[in-house]
Amino acid sequence: MSALIVDIILWGSVAVLGFMAWQRGRPVLVSSVREGTLDFINIVPRIALGVIGAGYIAAVIPSEVITGWLGPDSGWLGVLMATVAGAATPGGPVIGFSLGAVAMKAGAGPPQVIAYVTAWALFAFQRLILWEIPFMPARFVWFRAAVSLPFPFVAAAIAMAVGKP
Amino acid sequence: MAELPLKDPAPADDAADTEPRPGRIRKPIGWSMIVIAVLVAVCVVLVWRRDGVHGVTEILFSDLELFGGILPRVLAGCLLGAFIAEILPHEKVSRALGPNSGLKGLLIGTAFGAILPGGPFTVYPVAAALLTVGADFGAAIAMVVSWTLIGYGRAIVWELPIMGTDFTLWRIVISLPLPILAGALGRFVYIRIYPKGAPP
């Protein structure tokens, strides 16, 4: 159901922007459709490598390893381990959040789980490989990931300071 | 390293709007893809040694299915990016999101990332399009980070049911300043690494 809504919003946006391009004149529409299609053709092999490759990489990293890293140890070492675990977590949002929930039940502190979820959102290797590198200039991706490094720690620090969640 | 070479931010005169956008140079194979291919090959061998041919084909087929499901959305994302690059006036984008856009540019990038509908198949093509038409790394970083940390799509569909309301809301509140900080840090580092602008 939610997938259908996503598709409707997505293709609706494409239609609206396509209409705006068409209003600028037919050549504008034709040239942007051609650019978009060429981008698509160019990206397909990379997405293929990303999707199929990520499955194999995920199969090699068992989830027990991730929850082990997220164990009930606390403090900044726990935050560091949580950050590494977040980056190494394979799979989509279900796996990322479920492992976070499991770790929380197993006694991990909320700041550590915040660091884990933040690190996973910022630089889970699977999303970098599958989505970000195919679409964005590689230099931007590495730059963004490097710049993002401090932020799981910042998020954990804020969580410790406000004493929530 | 760069697969899609970045253009210098569009010059802030009206000529940028009237000139046709030159076709981007596309190189499907870059060093990043080679590294990933090697990593994947190693993992395939590891799976094969552990589970045999059956394990390898099982993952292959389930991933091919996933791949087929993703493709139409990828096409939509690419078209979206191309339309945005064509419609948005370059001069306005480079003023609103360019290197000199200051805090306002980072705030716009953050807001854009937070409200952008769809998934990774929209955010990355759109961010790449904005880079092409004059946004700088800082604003694009703010947008991508905002989408991953405070975008509502993933939070509503996945995080709320799995992690609970309390955790999700607090995590988002805590994350609110992070896209702006990440974008500011990105700008700060960028002008020190590339003092003369992006290398060709």
* Prediction ipTM score: 0.84
The answer to whether B79 contacts A141, with C-beta atoms less than 8 Å apart, is no
Q: Is A110 on the interface with B (CB under 8 A)?
A: yes
Q: Is residue A29 part of a domain?
A: yes
In a domain, A52, yes or no: no
Is residue B7 domain-resident? Answer: no
**Same domain, residue pair A82 and A153:** yes
Joined tokens for residue A38: 């060429």
Residues A136 and A88 in one domain: yes
Please check whether residues A19 and A86 belong to one and the same domain. Answer: no
> Contact A165/B141, CB-based, under 8 Å?
no
pTM for the whole structure: 0.80
Render B97-122 in DSSP notation, one character per residue: HSTT-HHHHHHHHHHHHHH--S-HHH
Structural domain count of chain B: 1
**CA pair distance B176, A165, nearest whole angstrom:** 15
Residues in B closer than 8 angstroms to A38, CB to CB, are: 23, 26
> Any chain A CB within 8 A of the CB of B67?
yes
**Does the CB of B28 have a partner CB in chain A at under 8 Å?**
yes
Question: What pLDDT does A149 receive?
Answer: 95
Name every residue whose Cβ is closer than 8 Å to that of residue B192 and which is 6 or more positions away in sequence.
none
A85 pLDDT above the threshold of 70: yes
Mean pLDDT, chain B, whole residue set: 82
B73-103 pLDDT per residue, tens: 889 889 988 998 888 888 888 889 998 899 9
**Domains of chain A: total:** 2
Q: Do B131 and A140 touch (CB under 8 A)?
A: yes
Of B32, B81, B182, the CB nearest to A147: B182
Beta carbons of A59 and B189 less than 8 Å apart = no
Q: Are residues A74 and A16 in the same domain?
A: no
The H-assigned helical ranges of A24-148 are 26-60, 63-69, 75-88, 93-105, 110-123, 125-127, 133-135, 138-148
More confident residue, A53 or B174: B174
The answer to whether residue A50 is domain-embedded is no
> Is the minimum CB–CB distance between B30 and chain A shorter than 8 Å?
yes
Model pLDDT for residues B22-66, shown as the tens digit of each residue:
445 555 567 777 888 888 899 999 999 999 999 899 989 988 888
pLDDT at residue number B168: 92
Q: Based on the domain organization, do A36 and A2 belong to the same domain?
A: yes
Residue B126 in any domain: the answer is yes
Å from B78 to nearest chain A CA? 5
B10 domain residue, yes or no: no
A2 and A69: one domain?
no
Report the pLDDT value the prediction gives residue A73, as an integer from 0 to 100: 59
Domain annotation covers residue B199? no
Q: Does B181 touch chain A (CB under 8 A)?
A: yes
Mean pLDDT taken over chain A: 85
Please indicate, yes or no, whether residues A80 and A11 belong to a single structural domain of this protein.
Answer: no
Considering the domain boundaries, does residue B9 fall inside one? no
Range of the domain at A82: 61-162
B26 vs A42: CB contact, 8 Å cut-off? yes
Range of the domain at B93: 15-193
**In this structure, is residue B168 part of a structural domain?**
yes
| B31, part of any domain | yes
In a domain, B2, yes or no: no
Q: How many CB pairs under 8 A join A and B?
A: 260
